[in-house]
Amino acid sequence: MKKLTTFLVSLMLLVFLLPATFAADTNMVDIRFYDTTSGLYLSAVQLNQVQLTLNGASITGDVPAVLQAENGGTRTLIPVRLVSEQLGAEVIWLSDTSQVMILYGDDTIMLTIGSSIALVNGQSVTLPDEIPATLVYYQGSVRTLVPLRFVAEELGAVVNWDGDTMTASISTTGDNTSSSSAETDTTVTDTSANISASDTGLFTGVQSDAAAQTFSILTDYTTQYVMKDFDSRLVVDLLGAELSPDLPSTLSSSSDFIADIQYVQLSDSLGYGCDHTVRVILTLPENITLEDNLTVLSLTNGVCFSLTSAPVDTGTATTPVSSTARTVVIDAGHGGTDPGAYYESTSEKDINLAVALKVQPLLIAQGYNVIMTRSTDVFVDLYERAAIANNINADLFVSIHSNASATSKTAQGILTYCYPGSTRGETCGKIIQKNITAATGANDRGVLSENYVVLRETNMCAVLVELGFMSTHDELVKLVDDSYQTKLAQGIADGIVEYLNTLDS
C-alpha cells in the first residue's frame, strides 16, 4: 500500500509538472550569435523569449527579445531597430564599420558590433554588464541586439520588468522627441585640449549660398574626409577633426537641398587611424539624391555640395512614363554577415547575388533603369532594402532568395511570394513564376503570400522569388551551376519585362 501511495503521489507530481515544463519550453527560442573573430554564426543557444510592450501595447518583430545571463548579470536584449523606431528614432546600419547609428532629436548614439562601449554624442558609455552589441540570426533574419534598458533610457523611456510573465514594459513620459539636455549637447565639453599628432584641425560650421545652390561643410584645415551615401542621408566623416569651441549648438541650412544637419564628435572607433573624427550627418529632401542631383567638391577648408540638376516632380506628370524609363530594384537576399541558408559548404547569399548580377544586364539591355540593393558581399538591413526602392520611387521590387527545408531532403522547385492581399503582387508573382519555371524546367510550386519585411515595407509592387531548395542535393548542384543560374536570371528578367509591359498596355 505504501508503494502504491508513493507511486500515486509521484504520478500526480508528474501530471502537475508537465504543463509547467511545456509552458517553459514554448517560451524558449533558438538564437545564433555572431562571432566577430571567426566571422561566423555560432551554434544555436536556447534563451527565454521576452514579451515587449510600449505604453501597454504589445510590440513584436522578426527577431524576439530574449533574456541573457552574462558577466554576472541578467539582461533583456532587444532588436535595436524595433524598439528605437517605436520610440521615434531613426536607425542607420553602417555596413563598412559594422556599426549602428541611432538618430534621435539632437542626439546621436553609435553602437559597434562586438563592443560593449557605445558613443552617446561622442562620449563613451559602457553598456549594462558590459554586454556588447551583437548580431544574431533567427529564422532567416539578422538583427542587432543590445540591452533594452540602455536603449530605452537613452531615448527618454522607462522600463519595468515582470518576471512572472517575462514581460518588459516600456513607457514614455511627456514629449518623447529628444533626450538631449545641456549636459548632453553635441558640443564636446573640452575643446581646448591639445590636438594630438594625428589630428589636423577643427570643424567650424556650415555655409549655404542659395543663389549659387551650394552648401559647404567648413573646417580650418585642408580636409580629409570619407563620405557614405544612404540615399536620404549623407554621412561625412571629417578625419582628424575636432569641434570648434565657437561652433553654434545648432546648425541650419538655407539651401533647398539640405533638410537637416547633425554632427557628433567621435574618437578613433571608426578605424581611420586618427584620434578624432567629426561625423556630419546631412538629411536630404525626398526628391534629392547624391547620384542624381549633387556634385561633391573638395575645398582647401572643407567640402562643398553643389546642386547640378533640379529634382524631377514626378507627382505632376500628366502622360504615362514609357517602359524604357521604368525602374526596377533587384534585391539579392542576405549578404555579408548574413549568409542565409548554408548547405554543403555553400551560402545562400552567394547564389542569390550570382543570379541577381545576371538579371541586371538583361534588364538594362531592355532599356530599364536597374538599381541593386547590393552588388557585392555586404550586409544590407531589410528595412534599408525597402527604403532604397521607396526613395527612388521604383516601379518594381524583386527579391531573389534560395529555399531550404528542415524536414525534407527531396523538396524541389521554384515558388514566388507576394504580400498578403496585394493584387498587383499576385499578378506579378504569377507572371514571373510562369517565366522562370518555363526557362528552367523546374517544378512549379506556385505563388504564395507572406508578411516579409521587403514585401510589406515597399511602396511599389514587390515579389520575392525562391530559386530552389538548397537542402536537396540535386537541386543545390543546379543552383551553383553557372548555366542554370543564367536560365534562372533569364526567366526572372522575362517575367519582369512581361509584367511591366502590362502596365503600359
DSSP 57-75: EEE--SS-EEEEEETTEEE
- Report the alpha-carbon angle 447-365-433, nearest 5: 10
Query: Does residue 130 carry a catalytic annotation?
Result: no
- Name the residue among 384, 327, 376, 378 with its Cα closest to residue 356: 376
HSE toward the beta carbon, residue 142, CA cutoff 13 A:
25
Query: From the CB of residue 379, how many other CB atoms can be counted at a distance below 10 Å?
Result: 18
Amino acid residing at 163: G
- Measured CA to CA, the distance from residue 452 to residue 140 in angstroms comes to 11
Q: Which residue has the cell 578624432?
A: 276
DSSP 29-60: EEEEEEETTTTEEPPPEEEEEEEEEETTEEE-
- Report the alpha-carbon angle 462-463-465, nearest 5: 155
User: Helix, strand, coil proportions of the chain in percent (round to 5)?
Assistant: 25, 35, 35
Q: Give every CB contact of residue 276 below 8 A, 6+ residues apart in sequence.
A: 195, 196, 199, 240, 241, 242, 265, 266, 267, 268
* Torsion sign (Cα): 255, 261, 266, 269: negative
Q: Which residues of 272-285 are buried (b: 16+ CB within 10 A; e: fewer)?
A: bebebbbbbbbbbe
| 3-state SS track over 170-224 | EEECCCCCCCCCHHHCCCCCCCCCCCCCCCCEEEEEEEEECCCCEEEEEECCCCC
Amino acid residing at 418: C
- Name the residue among 454, 421, 413, 417 with its Cα closest to residue 432: 417
In order of 62, 397, 425, 434, 448, the CA distances from 459 in angstroms are: 20, 9, 11, 24, 19
Strands (E), 337-442: 342-343, 346-347, 369-372, 396-403, 414-418
Residue of 384, 426, 466, 475 with catalytic role? 466
Q: Counting Cβ atoms within 10 Å, is residue 316 exposed (0-12), middle (13-18) or buried (19+)?
A: exposed
Three cell numbers written together for 128:
549594462
Q: Give how far the C-alpha of residue 311 lies from the chain's centroid of Cα atoms, to the nearest Å.
A: 27
Q: List residues with catalytic annotation.
A: 466
